[in-house]
Amino acid sequence: MRIDLHIHSTASDGSLSPSALVWAARAGGLDIIAIADHDTVAGIGEARAASQDRVHVIPALEFSTTHDCGEVHILGYFIDPAYSDLLAYTLDAVEKRRERVRGMLARLAPYGISVTLDEVVQLAEPGTRMLGRPHIARALVRRGFVQTVSEAFDRFLGDSAPAFLPTELISPRNAIELIHAAGGLAVWAHPRISTLEREIDRFVSWGLDGLECYRPNASASDIRFIEALSSRRGLMVTGGSDWHGAWQGKLGDFYVNGSDIEALLDAGGI
């Protein structure tokens, strides 16, 4: 069985619509996928409708949380996408992310870059509501202010770059609680080893269920570290490509096997 538990659609900053993702996953030989968009569950319904059970779609999302040490992404798997508090969170996130983009655009003005929020929305994929830095980066490319998305991040949008503003949506603790209330499992996405070592006790005390371990560019030593820590702390391990579009290769080239993530599949009743 070939599985990818971390894929983004146009519901957030991915480049394929949820249904196109399902077709690409099938063409790429995947059996199970999780659509894990930033702060939204808006793509799940369309993906499930398109899948016709040929690809199993696990409902998920990726929370952008704010912690003392900066931004931490927490994945929620097997959540009920219709859970009211979760929907309230995503509606709030749409507004806050829109205001953040407005603020970042204002910070670009001193560099002679004038792009409006409407232009960013118009240049985004149809249907995009959950705006983020990639949408700004693509608008800067389209308008000729930079040559590539990487240049946009390096010069302006990266975590330490001059136009950056943090997403201030939710704490890790509250995200974990919301995931549990929505019937799901909470997994720390792409953890940095240094942060993990320092923070793991607190996250476990807040109810964390798992750590994302298998990723396209993860080093063998990081994988061994996360596997060992997970087994010591009774956490599940998960894996996924964090795929946003064709520039990251072909969907399905990276996958995990059912045996790698058995505990999560069992807990989700798969």
Chain positions contacting Zn ion, by CB under 5 A: 62, 242
Of all residues in this chain, which one has the CB nearest to Zn ion in the complex?
242
Contacts of 268 (CB under 8 A, 6+ apart): 58, 77, 78, 185
Q: From the list ligand AMP, Zn ion, Fe ion, none, which binds 149 (C-beta under 5 to 8 Å, kind-based)?
A: ligand AMP
Residue nearest to ligand AMP (CB): 132
Cα separation, 219 vs 202, whole angstroms: 25
Nearer to Zn ion, 75 or 124 (CB): 75
- Given its phi and psi angles, is residue 72 left (phi above 0), alpha (psi -120 to 50 degrees) or beta? beta
Q: Sheet harboring 236-239: ordered strands across?
A: 236-239, 210-214, 185-188, 70-77, 56-67, 32-35, 2-7, 256-257
Q: Smallest distance from the beta carbon of 82 to Zn ion, in angstroms? A: 22
**Which residues form the interface with ligand AMP (CB under 6 A)?**
13, 38, 64, 132-134, 149-150, 153, 158, 167, 244
Among Zn ion, Fe ion, ligand AMP, none, residue 56 binds (CB under 5-8 Å by kind): none
- Identity of the residue, 115 or 261, whose beta carbon is nearer to Zn ion in the bound complex: 261
Q: Tell me whether residue 39 or residue 62 sits nearer to Zn ion (CB atom).
A: 62
| Alpha helix (H) residue ranges in the chain | 18-27, 44-51, 84-108, 117-123, 133-142, 149-152, 172-181, 193-205, 220-233, 262-267
- Tell me how far apart the alpha carbons of residues 181 and 174 are, in angstroms, rounded to a whole number: 10
The token pair that represents 191 in the structure block: 């953890």
DSSP 161: S
Neighbour tally for 106: CB within 10 Å: 11
Beta carbon of residue 214, minimum distance to Fe ion (angstroms, whole number): 15
- Cα-based distances in Å from 130 to 33, 64, 93, 110, 186: 21, 12, 8, 26, 21
Q: How far is the CB of 111 from Zn ion (least distance, A)?
A: 28
For ligand AMP, the closer CB: 29 or 216: 216
- Which residues form the interface with Fe ion (CB under 5 A)? 13, 73, 189
Residue number, 84 or 147, with CB nearest to ligand AMP = 147
- Looking at the Cβ atoms of 173 and 244, the one nearer to ligand AMP is 244
Query: What does 268 interact with, of ligand AMP, Zn ion, Fe ion, none (CB < 5 to 8 A by kind)?
Result: none
4 binding partner (options Zn ion, ligand AMP, Fe ion, none; Cβ < 5 to 8 Å by kind): none
Q: Output the smallest distance, CB 213 to ligand AMP, in A.
A: 18
Q: How far is the CB of 38 from Zn ion (least distance, A)?
A: 7
CB of 72 to Fe ion, least distance (A): 9
d(CA 264, CA 209): 9
Q: Name every residue whose Cβ is closer than 8 Å to that of residue 132 and which is 6 or more positions away in sequence.
A: 12, 13, 38, 97, 101, 167
What is the nearest approach in angstroms of ligand AMP to the Cβ of residue 54?
27
